[in-house]
Amino acid sequence: MVVNRPSGLPPTRKKQQKHPILLRGADVVEINQEKGQAIVLEKKRPSNLRSLATDTGFVRNEVTRFLASSSGMFYLTNPENIRINKVEVDKRGTLTGRGEQIFKGYPVYGADFTFNISSETERFSGRTVEESKIVASAATLDSDLAIQTLRKDLQEKTKVRTLTKAELKLVGGTQAKVDTLYYPTADGLYRLSFRISYHPNLVEEWIYFINATDGTIISRYNNTKGGWEKKTFTGEDLNGVRQSIHTAYNTDENIYYLQNKAEEMYDPENETGTILILDANFTNATNLETEPCTSKQNEWSPLHVSTMWGITQTYHYFKNTFGRNSLDGEGGNIIGIINMNDSETGGPMDNAYWNGAYMAFGNGNKLKPLAGALDVIGHELGHGVIDKTAGLVYRDQSGAMNESFADIFGAMIDREDWQIGEDITKPEVFPSGALRDLSNPHNGGTSSKEAGWQPAHTSELYTGEKDDGGVHTNSGILNFAYYKYATATSKEEAEQVYYHALTHYLTATSRFTDLRLAIIRSARELYGEKNAACAAKAFDEVGIWEDEASLPEMSLDPNPGDECLAANIKDPESGRIRLMSYNTVTEEYTLISEMPALTTPSVTDNGKTLLYVGEDYKIYRCDLEKGTCEVYSEETPFANVAISKDGKRVAAVAYSDDDPNIYVRNLDDKEWIAFELYTPATEGTTYDVKYADHIEFDLSGEALLYDAYNETDQFSFWNIGALDVWDAEEENWDGEVNILFTYNNGLSVGNPTFFKNSPDKLIFETIDQEGEGELVLFSTKRGILSSKQMPFSQPAYPTFGIKDEYIALMSYDEEENEATVFHIALSEDKNSFILPKDEEDIVFPLGAETDARYPVYYGTGERDLGKKPEVSFQAMNRKGEAPLTITFEDLSQYDPTSWTWTFEGGTPATSDEENPTVVYETPGSYDVTLTVSNAYGTSTVTKKDYIVVGDDPTSVEEVAIKQVSVHPNPATTYVIAEGVEQGPVLVYSATGKSYANLSVTWLDEQSVRVDVSSLPEGLYILKFKNGSAKFMKQMNY
């Protein structure tokens, strides 16, 4: 590209001329001069100086001697102003020294040179500066302030953002490289200046020269060289099929990268929206080292072709089918890593996985290379879409739904059949020829002992603890439901309905029943009642029935005490910063400690004990009732600390960029227990965590909320997770990690904190590549509730008031180095923000002029940290032929400790197990009752006619046996059916819900009138002894 000449540089030099005086010297071989000074001078080397040395001291002495013997031809004669930076000797024995002119220890811009010595000659090439033009001075401006000046100026010219740690490695390790030198100003004098090489983004490099005394910009220019060209390659993939893929050619390096920059999502300014393939070079997740896949001739192996082609096809599927812009919906990068080995064996990995940031491909041992299966690629990248939409928790029923959606995406991307992985299996391992089969979950097997077998009905549901509660097993039931639905309608309609449900109705902890309800509702919205009936029929046939939806989030009564706000507060008179507490009721300040907090303090729920890390990196324990503080721990420099709500446990994070542990212990213990953080993947785990930052205990004190920075040598990302530190049932330390949210593509995410009274909800903040901040309200059961952009680019450290009516945030002014704390209100349901209408409405709890940092609200009262349980239960296969075996699952909220079940018509008739199994031998409809208790109370529920044994009256399948004529259809108040036998008349919705107590009038032996005026709008089924009928109910307008 063309680089404009920077302003402020010396004028263009004139054509070189021979120097007339030196031409008379017999020892001169060549000379060129400029403005009376030699810029090239080559002379015969004195015969007594033929020996050479390669150290810089020798070359410096030789240069000094040479310049002194060429009196008047160079401005540089003082040996103190000569610095040799590098010495090389080539194959011919010619020595080359590279150096520069310095003044007062700093280089002089443009005054650099080379000095060559051979056996016969010595040659000086370069320019020197007259010392009288150099203004001696000291740097009075801090270089950080110079960088701030640069950033402010550069924001008017290009996009400026903060690079991630992984991106910094690609630009030399630092975003701003500062050197001090003497640089010419407009008056021709050389003044002490900063030369700053700055990367405002991953694409550009700018060079600035800023006066080191007054901060003025002397010169600037865009130093971006070369560029990228989009290329294509056509070659065979792993299946022997010729495919065309996109690659990227770097014109500066003359190298081709396995990177697709040709898609619509590509953003050249931020260098995002690319598909990038990295090579793990047979390392594994515990010692992962990657590098870009490159080629000098744009030639690629079948593994390269399959990987790039498969990921690109997956991107196209989501873009063309749903309008989704990349996996995250926002044009984010898609990264694939090939040649990944197994973490346990160190050998070839028989798997592919998604870990929230990238897809890893194994080359297979019992399988063929995983990149050879388009549906496997679609499956794993489908997890990325699921993560960014419903965020289905990867365990139990929600985890099986996660796996099923991924299978569905994989099957729809490779839509020629219903199998998964048929291109990579080996028959001796998978006799059916596929990993899984949506059309036949048993996959040629007869039990779970056979490879590839999955249950096809909830009667075969796996209820154990292995495989995260059977996520890869029970997904077969859901896959089969999708197959039945898609074949009854079409693949095109089914995929739209499922995507709609995923993005609109499902939440992180949704269950099979929630999936049924979401699919039926989405089908009705997109394609009408007939399609919804097909969806209901599909779920009926795999034993997933309509039931109550998941319970809402937990809610506690607010702390009954005074509301207080602890923060670092600056004394306006003395300038001292101290940790203080402000009581919002009495409006009084209390000194907590003279030692300021390094990060946000942590307080027990009753407001009696506060722990924090001081600016000396020690942990302090403060008794807020007695007003005392003491050092709690100083074994290592700490960055953050948290105390559990009940004050029993403490967690801490070390002050280190390379410590992936969170340290936990009981409050009065002496020894820390280290929990190493990891990132759970769809298969196994990855160990990319570099360090955790903010930490906070949940209400129970058993789990710890945290944010963590993850990094490989090629990219980085942040995620928010929950670490199970204590297992109350086992009374032992735990260590399991669950990821709540992942961000990548350079987006910083952090400072998660729970609501005070809704422990299933939290807030966290993000800062994007352009420095724009955002607050996000998040539910662990429902995913993202709402988000709001904020006008600041620094962490805000949110904290909730004791009633959760507002949050306090820190706003930091970089120029003034001051911070204030202000409020943002929440809506009545606490699910969205209410921003102030204007500046006059902003609430500053500590005053608008108070310099305050790291706020945390707490209450001073005592309250129960638990509630009496809210009873709920569910059973999957609750309708079927006798004998019917059913496993009941307790879904009660608020930690019940005892269970009392009553099963009408079942064996056993009662049970005190949490999740009992019961057998029904006799046809009929039966009630089920559950009573649950804990220390706070008891709760009971009875579900009437919940179990149906024998002929299933709600089976939509029987509708096709004999169709009975009904009229009017659609109906508003009644329907009349003709040609039916007298007997029971049953009415069901398309979702299987029964409607009793409707008025039925027999007009004659074969005609009946049914009053349907009380029914809501929708599709219904009438069932008689000899047939059935469908009718549509609509309102009478």
CATH assignment at residue 591: 2.120.10.30
* Arithmetic mean of pLDDT, 538-565: 83
* Arithmetic mean of pLDDT, 560-566: 96
User: Does the residue 885 lie in any domain?
Assistant: yes
* Arithmetic mean of pLDDT, 288-297: 92
pLDDT at residue 686, as a whole number? 67
User: Does the residue 343 lie in any domain?
Assistant: yes
DSSP H helices, 605-644, are none
Banded model confidence at residue 87, pLDDT cuts 50, 70, 90: confident
- Name the residue among 982, 902, 986, 895 with its Cα closest to residue 942: 902
pLDDT at residue 26, as a whole number? 46
Residue with tokens 């870009």: 292
Angle formed at CA 1000 by CA 998 and CA 1005, multiple of 5 degrees? 160
- Name the residue among 569, 572, 490 with its Cα closest to residue 527: 490
**Residue 287 burial (10 A CB sphere; 0-12, 13-18, 19+):** exposed
d(CA 536, CA 955): 10
Bigger pLDDT: 461 or 791? Answer: 461
Residue 721 belongs to what domain range? 563-859
The last residue of one of the domains, among 203, 222, 241, is 222
pLDDT, tens only, 331-379: 999 999 999 999 888 899 998 988 888 899 999 999 999 999 999 999 9
Do 613 and 504 lie in a common domain? no
* Arithmetic mean of pLDDT, 444-458: 88
pLDDT at residue 8, as a whole number? 31
Do 434 and 576 lie in a common domain? no
Do 542 and 670 lie in a common domain? no
* Arithmetic mean of pLDDT, 1024-1028: 78
User: Does the residue 188 lie in any domain?
Assistant: yes
Banded model confidence at residue 958, pLDDT cuts 50, 70, 90: very low
* Arithmetic mean of pLDDT, 429-435: 90
Do 647 and 791 lie in a common domain? yes
Do 601 and 628 lie in a common domain? yes
Do 879 and 850 lie in a common domain? no
Banded model confidence at residue 27, pLDDT cuts 50, 70, 90: low
Confirm if 182 and 134 have CB atoms less than 8 A apart: yes
Phi and psi at residue 638, to the nearest 5°:
-110, 155
* Arithmetic mean of pLDDT, 426-449: 90
d(CA 684, CA 989): 43
- Name the residue among 750, 789, 746, 770 with its Cα closest to residue 332: 746
As a whole number, the mean pLDDT across the chain is 86
d(CA 710, CA 690): 5
Do 942 and 1016 lie in a common domain? no
Do 737 and 597 lie in a common domain? yes
Residue with tokens 């812009």: 325
The last residue of one of the domains, among 949, 973, 1005, is 949
Banded model confidence at residue 685, pLDDT cuts 50, 70, 90: low
CATH assignment at residue 932: 2.60.40.10
pLDDT at residue 75, as a whole number? 80
d(CA 90, CA 116): 11
CATH assignment at residue 500: 1.10.390.10
* Arithmetic mean of pLDDT, 403-426: 95
pLDDT at residue 617, as a whole number? 94
User: Does the residue 20 lie in any domain?
Assistant: no
Whether residue 81 has pLDDT greater than 50: yes
Interacting residues of 729 by C-beta distance below 8 A, sequence separation 6+? none
* Arithmetic mean of pLDDT, 380-385: 94
Most trustworthy range by pLDDT among 267-271, 393-397, 783-787: 393-397
User: Does the residue 836 lie in any domain?
Assistant: yes
Whether residue 845 has pLDDT greater than 70: yes
pLDDT at residue 23, as a whole number? 36
Q: Which amino acid is at 1005?
A: E
Whether residue 954 has pLDDT greater than 70: no
pLDDT at residue 728, as a whole number? 67
Banded model confidence at residue 721, pLDDT cuts 50, 70, 90: confident
Whether residue 1003 has pLDDT greater than 70: yes
Do 249 and 160 lie in a common domain? no
Confirm if 257 and 250 have CB atoms less than 8 A apart: yes
Whether residue 581 has pLDDT greater than 50: yes
d(CA 933, CA 919): 25
Banded model confidence at residue 401, pLDDT cuts 50, 70, 90: very high
Bigger pLDDT: 966 or 13? Answer: 966
Confirm if 42 and 31 have CB atoms less than 8 A apart: yes
pLDDT at residue 743, as a whole number? 65
Do 714 and 586 lie in a common domain? yes
* Arithmetic mean of pLDDT, 275-299: 91
Whether residue 793 has pLDDT greater than 80: no
Whether residue 540 has pLDDT greater than 60: yes
User: Does the residue 243 lie in any domain?
Assistant: yes
pLDDT, tens only, 151-182: 999 998 888 888 877 778 777 789 999 999 99
Q: Which residues partner with 663 through β-bridges?
A: 652, 674
User: Does the residue 393 lie in any domain?
Assistant: yes
Whether residue 561 has pLDDT greater than 90: yes
Do 535 and 650 lie in a common domain? no
Banded model confidence at residue 747, pLDDT cuts 50, 70, 90: low
Interacting residues of 578 by C-beta distance below 8 A, sequence separation 6+? 568, 569, 571, 591, 592, 593, 594, 595, 596
pLDDT at residue 36, as a whole number? 59
Catalytic annotation, residues: 380, 472
CATH assignment at residue 969: 2.60.40
CATH assignment at residue 212: 3.10.450
Bigger pLDDT: 259 or 467? Answer: 259
The last residue of one of the domains, among 351, 367, 398, is 351
- CA atoms 573, 575, 579, 584: torsion sign: positive
Confirm if 407 and 420 have CB atoms less than 8 A apart: yes
Confirm if 285 and 685 have CB atoms less than 8 A apart: yes
Do 593 and 682 lie in a common domain? yes
User: Does the residue 711 lie in any domain?
Assistant: yes
Q: Which residues partner with 965 through β-bridges?
A: 978
**Region of poorest pLDDT, from 23-32, 354-363, 802-811:** 23-32
- Overall number of domains in the chain: 7
CATH assignment at residue 318: 3.10.170.10
- CA atoms 840, 845, 851, 856: torsion sign: negative
Bigger pLDDT: 931 or 1036? Answer: 931
- Give the C-alpha distances (Å, rounded to integers) separating 514 from 336, 509, 784, 874, 907: 33, 9, 18, 12, 28
Tell me what percent of the residues of the chain surpass a pLDDT of 90. Answer: 48
Banded model confidence at residue 959, pLDDT cuts 50, 70, 90: very low
